[in-house]
Amino acid sequence: MKNLIISVLNNPFLKSIAQSKAIKKLAFRYVAAEDLQNTINIIKELINKNFFITVSFLGEHFNNKDKVEEYLTEIYSLIKNINENDLSKNVSISLKLSSLGLLFDFEYTLDNLSKILDISGNVKIHIDMEDSSLIDDTFKIFDILKYEKKYSNLDITLQAYLYRTDRDLNEKILAKQNTNNLLIRLCKGAYKESYDKIFPNKKSINENYLKLAMKLIDNIDKIYPAFATHDINLIKKIQNYAHLKGVSYDKFEFQMLYGVLPKLQNKIISEGYRLRLYLPYGKNWYDYIIRRIAEKPSNILYLLFSFLPEKNS
């Protein structure tokens, strides 16, 4: 169902009218703004409400250097604004390596991420994990920059729906990590993959997520876990396991998407846990929004009503 919804909403006609006011209104439930300055203002408001933030400039799967260079220019401006506004204690940047050229040039991508880290100052840079065709190269770049070149502010994501993730955690991270300066975001995973690569159903994915979450907590001396989930049952089980292991609230965090389950977000904060919002911004919001619509089909009704002519007042 999710893939069908995404296919329908990728129709060129729907994309061509994506700038309508009604669709934008839906979009900005889940996207901060189209521009950097308004995004910074929203970040400040969210910090005042006790949220931590990881901000993401929308754009991925670039296949030429012109697109990558435009993206880099924005990331440099984002870093500058975070540092100038003294927000780095609360705000990190999430990015995909396909935004930096990984689809067509490994060395170019490595160089681009190195440049970002060189100017990042105190801003932590978080690598979003993508589909399985890019995972090995993503880990290679992470390994070079984190463990060979010793960039301490570089973090990474793991996806629980992949069979390979437990091995990746053991071999590519825990075997090399000896301080807790690494934030690992654990998410379920959302990319379309062949059946031989992923757990077959929601139940088995949730079981593997919890297994990985427990392993992260068991290695709290080496890493700082970030549990990215909106599943209240998983959240409760993670909280209970952390309590059982005597792990204090400041040793891990939960992460959720901006605009998704705000009541649950506030409840987690009120209980004393850290919560970081994944906050996207930029003009390339359409593909991001259709993924949110696919995850919550009730939004389709809102979308359909947006195509109706407005009544004269």
Question: Helices 65-84 and 106-119 meet at what angle, rounded to 10?
Answer: 20
What is residue 228's three-state secondary structure? strand
Helix (H) / strand (E) containing 249: none
Question: Helices 286-295 and 2-9 meet at what angle, rounded to 10?
Answer: 150
287 is written with which tokens?
């593909």
Query: Are 51 and 269 contacting, i.e. CB atoms less than 8 angstroms apart?
Result: yes
Beta carbons within 8 Å of 135's beta carbon, 6+ residues apart: 129, 162, 164, 168
Burial 210-244 (b: 16+ CB within 10 A, else e): bebbbbbbebbebbbbbbbbbbeebbebbbeebee
Distances (CA, A) of 18 to 4, 285, 294: 19, 10, 16
Query: Are 211 and 167 contacting, i.e. CB atoms less than 8 angstroms apart?
Result: no
Q: Is 292 a catalytic residue?
A: no
Burial 54-89 (b: 16+ CB within 10 A, else e): bbbbbbbebeeeeebeebbebbeebbebbbeeebbe
User: Which listed residue (35, 66, 111, 128) is catalytic?
Assistant: 128
Q: Is 164 a catalytic residue?
A: no
User: Which listed residue (155, 185, 276, 292) is catalytic?
Assistant: 185
Give the integer Cα–Cα distance in Å for 268 and 259: 15
The residues that are catalytic are: 128, 185
